[in-house]
Amino acid sequence: MATVETTLTHGVATLRLNRPETHNAFDEVMILELTEALAAAGADAGVRVVVLRGAGKSFCAGGDLGWMQRMAGFSDSENRADAAALARMLRTLDRCPKPVLAVVQGSAMGGGVGLVAASDIAIASDQAVFALSEARLGLVPATISPYVIEAIGARACRRYFLTGERFAAAEAYRLGLVHEICADDRIEARVAAVVEALLASAPGAQATAKELIRQVANAPLDPALIDSTAAAIARVRSGEEAREGITAFFAKRQPNWVKT
């Protein structure tokens, strides 16, 4: 049985973590399968949006402790290769050219928080619970740290990386880890609304915008940055998508990337 199930409906690829018996804790098999599923969705012209979910009661409990116990007995080179695979999975998620929406229910622990942080948009149940609990196991949230620090800031990480304490969905929202929290009976409607909004935007522009954010975030506001952003808009507005979008606006019709 696949540890990551992929379904494609009307341009929306749903990637469902599928180890509910372990609260979707990931091991080396799930890491590989999720990396491959994300890469495939990113390369598929028929995919417009990626939705990341967890099967069962939880979103993702982070690293499987049995897997970690096995890895502790491996050689240094084997440990490094395994850790590199985890880092590659997170980078593939972060760099996916398609918008990625994480839908969080139940618990998101450790690496599960990393998956949320590396996604573009996150919507959580108001009953969801989060933790960066690695330190309580004598570990550190190393591979997820670039994404979590970017999402919630270094100051919040100083608390939650060190205490490992659990925090509620409301705190995750306050910190900026998730964009919305919803009652369980409303979350699917909100997911559908956000997916609809994503499908209304041009796919090429979305991919370029994601790259733009990476280039501009924390970069010094110097002449090189100003020149690169000017070059970006000059290049994009002369492209096919911009011509179609502006033409559709004046013609009072939907652009051709919006499916009726």
SS (H, E, C) 200-231: CCCHHHHHHHHHHHHHHCCCCCCHHHHHHHHH
| Residue 23 zone, left/alpha/beta (φ > 0; ψ -120 to 50; rest) | left
**CA atoms of 194 and 172, how far apart (whole Å):** 19
Q: Is 93 helix (H, G, I), strand (E, B) or coil?
A: helix
Backbone angles phi, psi at 104, to 5 degrees: -110, 120
CA angle 95, 239, 92 (to 5 degrees): 5
Domains of the chain, by residue range, sit at 4-198, 201-250
Question: Looking at residues 52-76, what average pLDDT do you find?
Answer: 89
Mean pLDDT score, 254-260: 89
Pairing type for strands 4-9 and 49-54 reads unpaired
Give the CA count within 13 Å in the CB-facing half-sphere of 161: 18
- The length of the chain, given as a count of residues: 260
Identify whether 171 is a catalytic site residue. no
Cβ contacts of 64 within 8 Å, gap of 6 or more:
19, 22, 25, 26, 27
Chain-wide mean pLDDT for the chain?
95
pLDDT in tens, 166-221: 999 999 999 999 999 999 999 999 999 999 999 999 999 999 999 999 999 989 99
Q: Which residue has the tokens 């369980």?
A: 184
Q: What is the dihedral of CA 103, 107, 113, 119, to 10 degrees?
A: -10
Average pLDDT (63-85) is 85
| Residue from 80, 14, 15 nearest 4 by CA | 15
Q: Which two tokens stand for residue 90?
A: 């997170």
- Active-site pick, 134, 165, 196, 244: 134
> 34 pLDDT exceeds 90?
yes
Geometric angle at alpha carbon 18, from 9 and 132, rounded to 5°: 110
Question: Which residues, in sequence order, are CB contacts of 153 under 8 Å at separation 6+?
Answer: 175, 176
Enter the tokens of residue 88.
């590659």
**Does residue 260 register a pLDDT over 70?**
no
| 4-198 carries CATH number 3.40.50.12160 | no
pTM of the predicted structure, to 2 decimals? 0.95
Per-residue confidence (pLDDT) for residue 71, from 0 to 100: 76
